[in-house]
Amino acid sequence: MTAQLLDGKSLARTIQGEIAVEVAEFIENNTTVPCLATVLVGADPASEVYVRNKRQACERVGMESRHHELSPETTEAELLELVRKLNRDAGVHGILVQLPLPKQITETRILNAVNPAKDVDCFHPENVGLLVQGRPRFLPCTPHGVQQLLLRNGIDTAGKHVVVVGRSDIVGKPLANMLVQKGAGADATVTVCHSRTRDLAAVTRTADILVAAIGRPRFITADMVRPGAVVVDVGINRTAQGLCGDVDFAAVAEVASHITPVPGGVGPLTITMLLKNTLTACREQATT
């Protein structure tokens, strides 16, 4: 392997250490403990793991976590009522409703019901709009993790061509919006590719920084990567051979200058940025 590993797991530990110091100082000065409420509907194994990891991360940095686990038969009205209660609860500063939700529940209705000041996932239309305008209340967790991974490894984005493969509301679109803003970790020229992109490989080969976020195992192959490019793999796929990303890691690592592993790349930073948003939410609510 010639590419340098971008170690998200190690970086997450470093940033969580920084957050823990900030949390301790905030509690000392305000006698308020930042609190994240998580909501899990049903028993999806992957979602259960994600929520458990988030709760454990809260404990590591000195935050409180409150977990609400609901049955798969929960109605939309019941979930909306829980969200309203959490919105009114002054002891809860951040709300995370774990996706996906059961088919009887409309995700957008639930996400829109979360108080924007407690929307630490940055899914509410108000927060998305603020992000697009370049004055965010919160930064979406996975895109912010990608940005921090680049910044803290000394990878300059200014003037670089970043190609994002995937146009999801969770990663692709918000990441593109962040990278085109002015400032550190941004000022990039961004191309967003998707299922209708013609000659995808020709586009990805023009990237200085290539981000894969489509949820297709080992989709990005070595011939799709310009030699010396930075490759960030946001995907996490469960296959018969175990976990893998959207990038054919072994082959692409021989071409790229830097590459993220899966697991241990972007994933740990997603949870870390969630903690950062929860602390930000608590600080803002303390002043209002």
For 181, the token pair is 């803003």
- 78 C-beta neighbours (distance < 10 Å), count: 14
* Residue 210 CB partners (closer than 8 Å, separation 6+): 162, 163, 165, 204, 220, 224, 225, 226, 229, 230, 231, 232
Given 121, 208, 233, 248, the catalytic residue: 121
- Residue pair 279/34 in contact (Cβ under 8 Å)? The answer is yes
- Residue pair 193/202 in contact (Cβ under 8 Å)? The answer is no
* Residue 242 CB partners (closer than 8 Å, separation 6+): none
Could you confirm whether 56 is annotated as catalytic? no
Could you confirm whether 4 is annotated as catalytic? no
**Cα-based distances in Å from 268 to 30, 181, 236:** 29, 24, 12
Given 16, 98, 147, 148, the catalytic residue: 98
Could you confirm whether 104 is annotated as catalytic? no
SS3 at position 12: helix
Given 16, 54, 173, 276, the catalytic residue: 54
Q: What phi and psi, each to the nearest 5 degrees, are found at residue 64?
A: -90, 145
**Cα-based distances in Å from 108 to 41, 74, 141:** 15, 16, 18
Q: Which of 143, 208, 213 is nearest to 178 (CA)?
A: 143
Catalytic residue ranges: 54, 98, 121
